A = this chain, B = another copy of it.
């Protein structure tokens, strides 16, 4: 479900607290995931700049193209909407930066310390900010906003449950297609068709949507791809007409985004009998998962979970194949912080959502990886994806 006004106000307050702690007077937010987080509104297509001005105190302001004035007034929980440009009878100043300067002057922030999203904000936008706000100073406060997103609220968790359920339906279809030895493209497409049907039939009130970039949009996000055998080490690549043969292992990756919240479900599947090397590797990976999962609980750091995995990889004789991380945050981005890797000291807390995906990439045959979506609970974790997690053989 989409957030309500109280949920969005709590989001503003969390980000504002982080901004004040970093000495910022306001933040200009342009990343699609973040403007959605603060407003509950997406234009789907971001080719006209969409900006939220969030002062460290007080309500935010939405700066949008006149083309988006109508749709944002229908759904945005930021109610102070200032259009630029012209569209039918809706006429604002020609350029977004004129509106931006007006808003910051009105709030007494034109000479303030302004936060920006350093890892996203395009260079040309920053140049424009500096030009039209010559007395302001700018600082990267992207982390202040991202930290506020770590613990998910009720609306987000509920969306993630639906995203996970749709991903499971996709994986069921993929497993059925693999049992028929279909090609990578056919497995991927079967999963996507099944997810379309599940969305349209069971969850038509949900937004099956992802976020675009500055050039376009993402209208739908019920995605799958699949790689067979020696193609697995490509990790992510468009599927092909390659079909499996007995003794090979295929890896299917499913991502879904519902109301913008991302779930992930990935499974390795063995075709017929595996040789001894592959059988041993698959069993070891399952054991590594079993032995590491209990460390997914509040109070431990991400690095401590990774350390538990590292020990398990060594214990099972696969220390040379330890990946750089064994999971990552899930939310409005498909790959968010935190990272279940050696350098992330974030302490896990209830309401954080993650993937859990220890893997093996073994050049002689490809690789192995199950990935589940999960939420950290009061005393451990709860898997949100429910496809069987054993040595799947078809």
Contacts A196-B193, A200-B185 given; indicate if A236 touches B218 (C-beta within 8 A): no
A207 to B122, CA, bound (A): 28
| CB-defined contacts of A244 to chain B, threshold 8 Å | none
Chain B residues with CB under 8 Å of A204's CB are 183, 185-186, 240-241
* Interface membership of A86, Cβ < 8 A: yes
Q: Look across to chain B and name the residue whose beta carbon is closest to the beta carbon of A119.
A: B124
Q: From residue A327, how far is it (CB to closest CB) to chain B in Å?
A: 14
Which one of B71, B205, B215, B235 lies within 8 Å of A67 (CB-CB)?
B235
Kindly state whether residue A152 has any CB partner on chain B within 8 Å.
no
A113 within 8 A of B: no
Chain A positions 108 through 147: 1 when the CB is less than 8 Å from some CB of chain B, otherwise 0: 0000000011111111111100000000000010000000
| A197 in contact with B205 (CB, 8 Å) | no
- Count of A residues near B, CB < 8 Å? 80
Bound-state Cα–Cα, A117 to B127, Å? 13
For A233, give its contact among B70, B241, B336 (CB under 8 Å).
B70
Which residues does chain B contribute within 8 Å of A207, judged by CB atoms? Answer: 238
User: Nearest-CB distance from A206 to chain B (Å)?
Assistant: 9
Flag the segment in A39-47, A273-281, A385-393 that touches B. A39-47
Give, as a whole number of angstroms, the nearest-CB distance from A282 to chain B. Answer: 18
Which of A18-26, A51-59, A220-228, A346-354 lies at the interface with chain B? A220-228
Q: Which of B74, B124, B215, B361 contacts A33 (CB 8 A)?
A: B215
Query: A43 to chain B: which residues have CB within 8 Å?
Result: 235-237
Contact with B along A354-385 (1 / 0, CB 8 A): 00000001010000000000000000000000
Rank and list the top 8 A-B pairs by shortest CB-CB distance, nearest first: A189-B200, A216-B334, A71-B234, A118-B124, A219-B223, A207-B238, A185-B204, A215-B333
